[in-house]
């Protein structure tokens, strides 16, 4: 990377979660770009930043799951904080989406604002503007992004359950 910033951007987390969700080491940047609503250069730059941050292997093909888990568990809510906003129509996230909705019942829903959404709830600004559309195309990605939002906006109980569910998806034992 030439003179570009090495600091992580929110879409970098989205790209890493997508790579984990597809479970295919032969993924292509153009496919990720199409599925995430990013440009191919945005995906390329995200991978470069993630290499610099030691969140992907030196080839840029495999996510270093322990490092990513540590970052999303301890740093994400400070680097990309979020507060619940006004009630809108959107796509469920945090404890309002699977898998957390199996463990937590609440009268207040959280959603990413999206006109074609199926639920009304307090708005949560997604890590990247194309997250609602990308999540609707990939159930596993939706789950991961909702769990990450629980870490960004949830209380201690939600965060604890979210970490355990992320570990299961990442296939990381205790």
| Per-residue pLDDT tens digits for 27-44 | 999 999 999 999 999 999
The token pair that represents 15 in the structure block? 């790209």
79, 110, 131: which is the final residue of a domain? 79
- Whether residue 65 sits in one domain with residue 91: no
Q: Are 44 and 84 in contact (CB under 8 A)?
A: no
Domain boundary among 37, 57, 79: 79
Indicate whether 5 belongs to any domain.
Answer: no
Please indicate, yes or no, if residue 156 is contained in any of the structural domains: yes
Tokens read off for 82: 């979020």
The answer on pLDDT for 15 being more than 80 is yes
CB 82 within 8 A of CB 146: no
Q: Are residues 55 and 27 in the same domain?
A: yes
pLDDT at 4 over 70: no
Confidence of residue 174 (pLDDT cuts 50, 70, 90): low
**Domain region containing 35:** 10-79
Task: Compute CA distances 16 → 32, 61, 96, 125, 150, whole Å.
Answer: 10, 10, 23, 19, 17
pLDDT at 173: 73
- Give the pLDDT band (50/70/90) at residue 1: very low
Domain annotation covers residue 3: no
pLDDT at position 54: 96
Of 26, 63, 37, nearest to 170 by C-alpha is 63
CA dist 45 to 2, 9, 107, Å? Answer: 11, 10, 40
Contact 65, 124 (CB under 8 A): no
Query: What's the distance, Cα to Cα, between the start and end of the chain in Å?
Result: 36
At 121, which helix (H) or strand (E)?
strand 119-123
How far apart (Å, rounded) are the C-alpha atoms in residues 68 and 55?
Answer: 6
Q: What percent of the chain shows pLDDT beyond 90? A: 93
CA 108/CA 7 separation, integer angstroms: 34
Pairing of strands 110-113, 119-123: parallel
- Summarised one tens digit per residue, pLDDT across range 43-69 is 999 999 999 999 999 998 999 999 999
- Per the CB < 8 A criterion, the answer to whether 83 and 149 are in contact is no
């Amino acid at each position: 990377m030439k003179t570009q910033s090495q600091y992580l951007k929110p879409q970098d987390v989205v790209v890493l979660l997508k790579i984990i969700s597809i479970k295919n080491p032969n993924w292509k940047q153009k496919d990720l770009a199409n599925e995430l609503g990013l440009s191919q250069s945005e995906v390329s730059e995200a991978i470069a930043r993630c290499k610099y941050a030691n969140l992907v292997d030196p080839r840029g093909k495999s996510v270093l799951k322990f490092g990513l888990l540590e970052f999303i568990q301890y740093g994400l809510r400070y680097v990309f904080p979020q507060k619940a906003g006004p009630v809108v129509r959107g796509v469920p996230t945090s404890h309002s989406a699977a898998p957390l909705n199996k463990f937590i019942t609440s009268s207040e829903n959280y959603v990413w604002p999206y006109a074609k959404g199926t639920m009304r709830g307090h708005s949560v600004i997604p890590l990247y503007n194309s997250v609602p559309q990308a999540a609707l195309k990939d159930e596993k990605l939706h789950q991961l992004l909702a769990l990450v939002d629980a870490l960004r906006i949830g209380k201690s109980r939600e965060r604890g359950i979210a970490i355990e569910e992320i570990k299961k998806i990442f296939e990381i034992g205790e």
